[in-house]
Amino acid sequence: MKRRLALAAILLVAIALRFTALGWGLRHLPHNDERAFVESVSAMLAAGDLDHRFYQYPGLFSYFLAGALRFLAAPQTSPEAYLWARGVNAAFGVLSVLLVYRLGRRVAGVPAGLFAAALLAVSPPEVRTAHMVRPDVTLHAFVLLALLAFTRLGIRLRDDVLSGLAIGAATAVKFSAPLVAPAYLVRRLSAEGFRWWKPLLSAAVSLLTFALLSPYTLLSPDSSAGLEKQFGFHYRPRPGALDYGDTAAAYGQLLLLAVGPAGLLLGLVGAWLGRRSWRDTLPLVVLPLTFVAVFSTADVRQERFLVPCLGAVCVLAGLAVQRVASWRGPAGLALAALALASPAFESTSYVRAVSRPINKDRAADWIAEHYPRGARVLVTAATDMGLDRSRFEVTSVHDLRTTRSLLLDEQDLLIAGLRDRAFREGLERIAVVKSATPYAGDSVFILAPAPADRPTYRLVDLTKAVVSGGTLATTAPLEVQLPASVTLGRIELVPAPDAAEAALELSVKRPGGSEFERVPFVPGRPSFAEQVAPRSRVFVLEGESAVALRLTPRGPWPAGWAGARLEVKCRN
């Protein structure tokens, strides 16, 4: 009964740490990796097939997400979809805690299993990664299933088959799963009933299982490109990349943070104490060494890459605690509490931090409080804060550094991040939103064009202009013969409120010219779907001398454009 109560308490802690604040940051666009999974799964569900489409990863994790998202009434790329997708990952994180308990109990005993489960329950990388749509936590559960299967290896052939099934299923979650194979081999070579063909059989079962659980990795002609992109992500040279030894040392530091100094020390002691039952403990030693050795060859380093091997380290630490508990009595409990303190504090601090609004959320609230409806805001994907687009007119650009000043000067606000340092110079700083916690995200800079840089315009009187094509019928262009030569700065065409979007080309006739020429411009407003009514098409020009202008649709004029109101402004 005490064992069950202790395990239940550990699982409740795991649930609390993984599911609390699971929706952090979902007022704005999530990380690109999260979006790639959810958007691909949404497309798969819409098509009604099993093509997971995100070929940088196998398909099984996407199928788990699809099983949850298919029941959503909200759009499958809504914040609710990301919340449910994160919930799938968090649930596998709780399952990993239960599995590591079973592994520790099988290898060493109940105290070892309970401590291993408690250590994994509060491990910061596990907790942090469970709050994202990433496959690493889900992969960890399958790696633990594989380790449990390895403990059964012996004379029976079915145990090799079961091991192959576990490895194949893990590989269908993420391509790094075959790193568990060395742990299988050392256990297979040392166990009873070894035959040279059994590892080959296990490998064949793994391949078949992978093919069944991630079929489009093999069937889709685009999957090879996804694999190449994933490989390039890990091995693309980057400025300032660490060499192998430095990267391995960095991963060692990450392990130290993952289980705490006392937990890692206990893991090393457990590996030494387990030498008498080395057949069971050697795979647990080999697994984290393999992960560190292989990932240290890459040019990118992330703490989540080590998540799938944390259970093995926790079990080794549990083995050391069990040995102390067996001859010291209360000393084992005190040692366990000391080892759990550091990771538990870090994980609790993380959950408390993400339970509060992050910097982007606070910046969005500040703008909503200080700026009126219709304010024009320029953002990038990196600085998108999930502003209410029915209230604010938000223009998204790829990179602020390549944005033309014509567009900048038309905005009321510009949102910049830390990486836009050079861009921020010369702009008026309205507010800076930042937090002391690293989990709140980068600082958000709320800027505006300097007053001296804002363009001033003078409305051109079109009562004496000659307008042709005024009915905007079929594909006829709208031509305006201006009453005199002007320096064009801003042209706006306002259709009926229910008009559909129209793609327009702008050309002008210069003084003394006989033909219309296309001229460069920037769109002064985003697409109709992102505009705050009244909607219009705006062309902002550097300053083009013209005696006439022409607006030509790239097809028939859509309904609602007949009788559209035209405003022409010249620069002062």
58-80 pLDDT tens trace: 999 999 999 999 988 776 778 89
542-563 average pLDDT score: 86
Domain 359-453 has CATH 2.60.40: no
350-361 average pLDDT score: 92
Residue 425 has pLDDT above 80, yes or no: no
List pLDDT tens digits, range 483-498.
Answer: 889 999 999 999 988 8
Which pLDDT score, from 0 to 100, does residue 47 have?
92
83-107 average pLDDT score: 97
Residue 227: count of CB within 10 angstroms of its CB = 16
Residue 432 has pLDDT above 70, yes or no: yes
Which pLDDT score, from 0 to 100, does residue 284 have?
96
Residue 260: count of CB within 10 angstroms of its CB = 24
CATH fold label, 457-571:
Jelly Rolls (2.60.120)
Highest mean pLDDT among 3-7, 29-33, 331-335, 348-352: 348-352
Residue 183 has pLDDT above 90, yes or no: yes
Which pLDDT score, from 0 to 100, does residue 450 have?
81
- Among 18-22, 67-71, 123-127, name the one with the lowest average pLDDT: 67-71
List pLDDT tens digits, range 297-310.
Answer: 988 889 999 999 99
CA 93/CA 116 separation, integer angstroms: 14
456-484 average pLDDT score: 79
Read off the pLDDT band of 326 (50, 70, 90): low
Say if residue 234 is exposed, middle or buried (CB neighbours under 10 Å; 0-12, 13-18, 19+).
Answer: middle
Q: Which residue has the higher pLDDT, 453 or 167?
A: 167
571 phi/psi in degrees, rounded to 5: -75, 140
471 phi/psi in degrees, rounded to 5: -80, -10
Which pLDDT score, from 0 to 100, does residue 100 have?
98
- Among 279-283, 476-480, 487-491, name the one with the lowest average pLDDT: 476-480
In the chain, residues under CATH classification 2.60.120.260 are 457-571
Per DSSP, the residues of 317-385 read HHHHHHHHHHHHTHHHHHHHHHHHHHHHHHHHHHHHHHTS--HHHHHHHHHHHHS-TT-EEEEETTT--
Residue 197: count of CB within 10 angstroms of its CB = 9
Token pair, residue 334, equals 């005190």
Which pLDDT score, from 0 to 100, does residue 424 have?
65
8 Å CB contact between 136 and 153 = no
Token pair, residue 272, equals 């030494």
Residue 522 amino acid letter = V
In the chain, residues under CATH classification 3.40.190 are 359-453
Q: What is the pTM of this model?
A: 0.84
List pLDDT tens digits, range 34-54.
Answer: 999 999 999 999 999 999 999
432-438 average pLDDT score: 84
346-353 average pLDDT score: 95
Q: Which residue has the higher pLDDT, 102 or 447?
A: 102
8 Å CB contact between 274 and 316 = yes
Read off the pLDDT band of 243 (50, 70, 90): confident
Q: Share the mean pLDDT of the chain.
A: 89
Q: Which residue has the higher pLDDT, 555 or 367?
A: 367
Residue 474 has pLDDT above 70, yes or no: no
Which pLDDT score, from 0 to 100, does residue 328 have?
58
Q: Angle between the 60-69 and 32-47 helix axes, to the nearest 10 degrees?
A: 70
Which pLDDT score, from 0 to 100, does residue 8 have?
96
Nearest to 556 by CA among 486, 503, 493, 494: 503
Percent of the chain at pLDDT > 90 equals 54
